[in-house]
Structure 1
Amino acid sequence: MNGLVAVAGTTLHVEQRGEGPPLLLVHGGGEDGSMLAGQAAALAATGYRVITYDRRGTGRSGRANWPGEGADQHADDAAALLATLDAAPATVLGVSSGGVVALAMAARHPEAVARVIAWEPPASGVLPDAATINAAIMAPIEAHLREHPRDYVGAQALLFNVVLGVPVSTDDPGFAAARANAEPMIRDDPTIVLRPFTAAELTAVPVTIAVGTEPNELVGAAAPVLGKLAGVEPVIVEGARHEVYLTDPAVLTALTALVGRTGA
C-alpha cells in the first residue's frame, strides 16, 4: 500500500520498499519521506520492508488537528499506520526530531515497536532547563516572525543555524528540498523536542541512542540523559554528521545492522 493512507483522523502519505521484517523510518524537521528515499533503499537492500511517510502536517500528508500534541501525536499516528499496514511490531529508526517521535512510540505504543534506534534526537525535554533552552533557541525565530509574518523559510534558516552549527541562507541550494517543509519545522518541531521521558517509558522495548562524534550542543547534552533513562550507553558513530542519512545512507544502514546483531 503506497500513497495516502487514512489513519488517526488524517491521511499520511506512505511509501514502502523491500521485503522482510518491517522497519519504519521517521523523518526529522524540514524533511519529508521523499527526502529519505536513499536511506530507505539502502535499508531495503539489506532485507527490510522499509516504510517511509510524511508526518502529519508535512509534505503530502493531511493537516487535520495539526499542530497538536507534539511527539505524542506523531507517535500515535505512526503506531496507527503500522497497525493499518499490518507491520507491527517494527524496528523504528527515527532521525533528528524523528528520533524523539520514535522514542515517544516506545513510551506510548511498545506493542507496536520491536526496537527503537534514535539518531541524534534533540530531546531537550529530558534536560532540567528544557524550557530555558527552548526559549533561547526560539527567541530569534519568534522575533523574525513578528517582523516578517509567515516567513517560515527565513525562520527555518535561523533554526538551521542552531541545529547544524553553520550559517544557512534562505537560497542555499543544499537546503532547497527542506524549504518546502519550513512551516511544519517551525510550527511543530519546537513542541516535539520538549517531550519528557521517564526510565519506565524507555525500558519497555530495546532502545539505541546514537550520535556522531561532534553532535550539536543540544543533542550532545540530551544523549547521555536518554541513555541513562534507557539503561544503555549511547553509540558513537565516528565521523558522522547530523544529516548523514541524507548524504551517506551506508552509515545508518551499518548502524541498523550492528544493532540487529548485537543489541547495542
Structure 2
Amino acid sequence: MVLHHQEAGSGHPVLVIHGGAEDASMIEPQARALAGQGCRVVWYDRRGTGRNRTGDWPTDRGDQHADDAAELIRHLGLAPATVVGFSSGGVVALALAQRHAGLLREVIAWEPAALGMLPDADATHAAIMAPVEAHLSACPEDWEGAWRVVLTVLSEGRADLGSPEVRAALRNAEPAVRDDARQLTRRAFGPGDLPAGLVTLAVSERPDPMHLDIAERLAELIDRKPVRVPGADDHEVYLSRPDVLATWIGARRS
C-alpha cells in the first residue's frame, strides 16, 4: 500500500516523517520550507493517521512504519533520500535506517521520542501510560481525552490544552495513543542497529532533559554527538517556525 502523500520542489530528494498526533497537513509548512532550500520534498500521513486511517494499526514498535516509508521511497524513485523525522517520526526514521539503509543518503532524527532508550524504560513508560489507561478504562474510546492526559503528564501539567496546536492534534488522537504512546515510543536500538555515518541526531539549543538523555544514548551507538540546532528553541519548532530547521538543513547541503 502506497500511503497518501504530497510533494513539492525539485532537487535533492527529502522524505519528511511527522510525529505523534500530527499528519501531513500539520507539517506542510515545514515541508514547503525545505522545498525552498532546493529539495524535492515528499511528506505523507503515516499509517493509521490523517488520510491513511486504514484501521490497520501497526503493532511492532516501528517496523511497519519504516517499511511503509521504504515503499514510498521506492515508489517515487527517491533513493538515495535524506529522511527527516520529528519526535516519534524520528523513531520511524531511525527504524528506517536500521531496516533499509541502502535507500538512504542520510537520516536526520529530530529529538526522537525513543523512550525505550532510557534506564528503566518499561517502568518509565508504564508510569506515563498509567493515567492514560485509567482514563480509557473509565471512558472507553475517548481518544481525545486520553491524548489530553498524555500531554498533561508529559508537560507536568503545563500544557495549554486549548491551544490551536492541541485542537489540531486531536483529530489524530486515536493513532497518537494507540500507536505512538502505547508502542512506537517504546522502541530501543542497540549496538550495530544504526549504520555508521548515516544518522544525525538533532536537538534544540536547550532540549528538555528527557529528549537530551535519549539523544545522547542514541549518539553513543553511532559515535556522533547530537547536534544543537541554532535558533531552535522548542521541541515543536518544526511546527511553529519551519524556517529554522529548513535553513539549518539547507546549510548542511551547501
TM band (smaller chain): over 0.9
The whole-number CA distance in structure 1 between the counterparts of 2:120 and 2:39 is 39
- Report the Cα distance in structure 2 between the residues aligned to 1:64 and 1:150, rounded to whole angstroms: 14
- Residue of structure 2 equivalent to 1:3: none
| Equivalent pair of 2:58/2:65 in contact (CA under 8 Å) | no
- 2:5 maps to which of 14, 17, 20: 14
1:201 corresponds in structure 2 to: 193
CA shift digits 1:72-106 (9 cap, x unpaired): 11001000111011111210000010000000000
Counterpart position of 1:192: 184
Corresponding residue for residue 222 of structure 2: 230
**Structure 1 residue 162: Cα displacement:** 3.7
TM-aligned CA deviation for residue 36 of structure 1: 0.7
Higher mean displacement: 50-59 or 69-78: 69-78
Q: How big is each residue's C-alpha offset from its partner over 1:100-133, in whole Å with a ceiling of 9 and x where there is no partner?
A: 0000000000011110101111111122311111
SS at match of 2:235: coil
- Equivalent of residue 103 in structure 1, options 82, 86, 94: 94
Alignment of 1:125-140 (within 5 A): 125-140=116-131
Residue ranges of structure 2 left out of the alignment (5+ in a row):
none
- Asked if structure 1 preserves the Cα contact closer than 8 Å seen for 2:15 and 2:41, the reply is yes
Distance 1:160 1:224, change over 3 A: same
Aligned residue number for residue 31 of structure 1: 22
Partners of 2:132 and 2:150 within 8 A in 1: yes
Query: Among 242, 246, 254, which residue is 1:253 paired with?
Result: 246
- Alpha-carbon contact 2:101-2:195 (below 8 Å) kept: no
- In the TM superposition, residue 21 of structure 1 has moved relative to its aligned partner by 1.2
Give, in whole Å, the separation in 2 of the partners of 1:44 and 1:166: 36
Shift of residue 14, structure 1, vs aligned partner: 0.3
1 CA distance for matches of 2:236 and 2:165?
Answer: 12
Deviations 1:228-247 (A, max 9, x none): 11110101135520110011
CA RMSD of superposed structures (Å): 1.7
1:221 — aligned with what?
213
Q: Tell me if the contact between 1:67 and 1:187 (Cα under 8 Å) persists in the aligned partners.
A: no
Q: CA deviation at 1:218?
A: 2.5
Normalised to the residue count of structure 2, the TM-score between the two structures is 0.93
| Worse-matched range after superposition: 117-126 or 154-163 | 154-163
Letter in 2 for 1:242: H
Distance 1:222 1:38, change over 3 A: same
For 2:33, the equivalent position in structure 1 comes to 42
Q: How many angstroms apart in 2 are the aligned matches of 1:33 and 1:165?
A: 28
Q: For residues 154-193 of structure 1, what are the structure 2 equivalents within 5 Å? A: 154-164=145-155, 167-168=158-159, 170-190=161-181, 191-193=183-185
Q: Does residue 123 in structure 1 map to residue 144 in structure 2?
A: no
Q: What is the CA–CA distance in structure 2 between the aligned matches of 1:259 and 1:49, rounded to whole Å?
A: 16
Aligned partners of 1:97 and 1:121 also within 8 Å = yes
Equivalent position to 1:146, from 134, 137, 148: 137
Aligned match of 2:236: 243
Percentage identity across aligned positions? 48
Contact kept in structure 1, 2:19 and 2:87, CA below 8 Å: yes
Secondary structure, aligned partner of 1:200: coil
Q: Is the 8 A contact 2:84 2:90 kept in 1?
A: yes
Structure 1 residue 256: Cα displacement? 1.3
Q: Provide the TM-score with structure 1 as the length reference.
A: 0.90
- 1 CA distance for matches of 2:92 and 2:240? 22
